[in-house]
Structure 1
């Protein structure tokens, strides 16, 4: 994704951005009435008094302020519930929720529309014809408010709940998998050889996670110098000033500087281009559910299903990077499977239903992607050994062992 598109994507997700845009649009709508007023028949304007419009705007202003305050309180409560009951890493997806942002923006914009309209009416800014347009805008705004409020009531009932958060993280992981350049591979085939004459590009003065790589900019830079760049990192990689970001064949110091600038490093990890982060967050949700304080193995079982769907999407990715001059390292399937399954195998070893489901999920993964079977079987053996130690009833141990033995040959 290009650097400017990435910046716009981050900016448009901010909670204040959409609210500010709606508010400005509402204020402009209220102020544009006198400009369009000459198009309104004078006789129609005479039938609508200033009091009628003023009363409607007063009701909108007073009610929308209360609804906006309630909405903010509900959203903050949902964020707190997600932090306590799910995982703090998933809260970013709740903050970026478009339905919540649209509802809050609509309520705040309606409030500002009413305030601007009341102030303009009190100063005589609108004539009789202008009041007609303001009246029509107020009626249309009421319809929008009612529809938004009905949607918001349904949405707030689920916001921040465990199932809703699992679904959001799963969707984020699947979206990130769809943006991958190529399918994950086993470690022996994961990294392309770097030419001996390649020069390193280091992460100077930055510590954090890679969140975006501007492939278009890298292709343009390599096209200008006639070289190639072998990336040493992927979105989600943790980097420090001594870490090599890429190896460049051809070009000078300016080229290497442009390559470094094309790799965005931020303090926090992002879901957008990092399916591995989605799998990790899903495993955190399962670990929280399996803690003695929560003791909810059903949530862990739901997480395993969500992880399998993310893996399935990753297995469907085909093709190579869009630009042959930009060489990406592949995600290593062994690391993905370990990140997704080891925490659940560890914390769910004492729950036979979770241990059996984990065996079935890994067997299904091996069936979906046969070249990943070795990594899945290794994780299954590790989970079986943990369950044998943690389970105290022999029948439960045998159930896990039978689930492992049912693997396809």
Structure 2
């Protein structure tokens, strides 16, 4: 699993300002390289190649890249606002962390700073005539980067903020977290399925004096601490859990001192919002939010809800095919199991509730439950049957047209059969 510092570094790499600052730093280094390497270039080469025109090129870049950067920022902000309104605010986080838009904006901003620093060094005549050749070569490279970036940006900006594109990003983030859990079940610890079992032999709870969502658990550090103390730890708060000073995050077999509590609290990273990284249920919940908003009377878009149902089937098929590992990587850790019932509850219950009176949504739900019940792994069969009955009950109560009820009953009968 990802360690605490690796996770923090990955969060830093997702920040827009970090990529822009990194490329801008490289842009500042280019004129410095021209100054240092200029004396080693044979005289007269600069005039033959036409490097004297680099000043005019840099002027054009400086004026155009500032406008392009401003336009790109405006477009991104408008797309984020549209996604917040039409999809869900929880999904915009993935859009902000998208590497394509960050790389595009960083390239434009870096090109502007490169041209600005280049103009300043030319005005000060720091690199000399031969250094102009080096700056000219760097300028040509920057122009090629801009051309490639603009082509990618044109293709990407037409899809930025669209419902289908945002839903796809949520699905990919959810699948990534789900596959990580499958590859390392229970975060690498032993299974602790029942709430009551968490305190069996673990009578000493550990509390965090803060309020927030558990975003990441450094299980490797926690296992290392448990090995050093010859203790076992029962994790009571999975990523995605809202904890407070009265809710324990773990249980121990011995009474911990202040140092022990501090060491355990350090491995639990809290935040104001949930994260997709170690929390597959959050991804399923966000997909359900997208479908619920689409089913609202203000938007009235059953097609998006049906699309979300199809994406949920793909994700749950990955989960159903998973093979449970028999030997935990960290035998001293016990972690609550991620259950199939929880996943189906997260994604299907809101859709069945908000789409109870829409016949096409209910039929698609019953077909989804039938597909899950027929999976070879069998992990979704019982939960799919339960949700099929609940969805049928909601439809019976909400629908007023008898032929619609009959269609849903027929679809549900196929699932239960």
Q: Same fold (TM over 0.5)?
A: yes
Matches within 5 A, 1:253-272: 253=257, 254-272=259-277
Aligned to 1:101: 102
Question: Offset at 1:255?
Answer: 2.3
Aligned to 1:57: 58
CA distance in 1, matches of 2:186, 2:232: 21
Q: Which of 398, 405, 408 pairs up with 2:413?
A: 405
Q: Which of 222, 225, 232 pairs up with 1:228?
A: 232
Query: Cα RMSD (Å) of the superposition?
Result: 1.9
CA distance in 2, matches of 1:55, 1:355: 64
Matches within 5 A, 1:367-406: 367-368=374-375, 369-406=377-414
Aligned to 2:370: 363
Question: Offset at 1:183?
Answer: 7.4
CA distance in 1, matches of 2:328, 2:300: 44
CA distance in 1, matches of 2:149, 2:332: 48
Quick check: 1:345–1:383 contact (8 Å CA) kept in 2? Answer: yes
Quick check: 1:321–1:328 contact (8 Å CA) kept in 2? Answer: no
Quick check: 1:225–1:251 contact (8 Å CA) kept in 2? Answer: no
- Aligned residue for 1:324, secondary structure, equals strand
- Aligned residue for 2:205, secondary structure, equals strand
Q: 105-114 or 342-351: which moved more?
A: 342-351
Aligned to 1:279: 284
Aligned to 1:33: 34
Aligned to 1:324: 331
Cα gap change, 1:229 to 1:189, in 2 (>3 Å): closer
Instruction: Summarize deviations over 1:343-396 as a string: whole Å, max 9, x none.
Output: 111111111110000111122222234233222211111111111122222221
Q: How many correspondences in the alignment?
A: 406
Indicate yes or no: 2:235 matched with 1:215: no
Q: 336-345 or 244-253: which moved more?
A: 244-253
CA distance in 1, matches of 2:174, 2:289: 14
Unaligned runs of 5+ in 1: none
Q: 347-356 or 49-58: which moved more?
A: 49-58
Instruction: Summarize deviations over 1:82-117 as a string: whole Å, max 9, x none.
Output: 011111110000000100000000000000000000
CA distance in 1, matches of 2:146, 2:402: 60
Q: TM-score, normalised by structure 2?
A: 0.93
- Aligned residue for 2:185, secondary structure, equals coil
Matches within 5 A, 1:110-121: 110-121=111-122
Unaligned runs of 5+ in 2: none
Question: Offset at 1:294?
Answer: 1.1
Quick check: 1:26–1:110 contact (8 Å CA) kept in 2? Answer: yes
Aligned to 1:341: 348
Instruction: Summarize deviations over 1:243-279 as a string: whole Å, max 9, x none.
Output: 1101123574222321121111111111111111111
Quick check: 2:320–2:378 contact (8 Å CA) kept in 1? Answer: no
CA distance in 2, matches of 1:155, 1:26: 24
Q: TM-score, normalised by structure 1?
A: 0.95
CA distance in 1, matches of 2:85, 2:337: 35
CA distance in 1, matches of 2:260, 2:215: 21
CA distance in 1, matches of 2:198, 2:111: 59
CA distance in 2, matches of 1:203, 1:379: 36
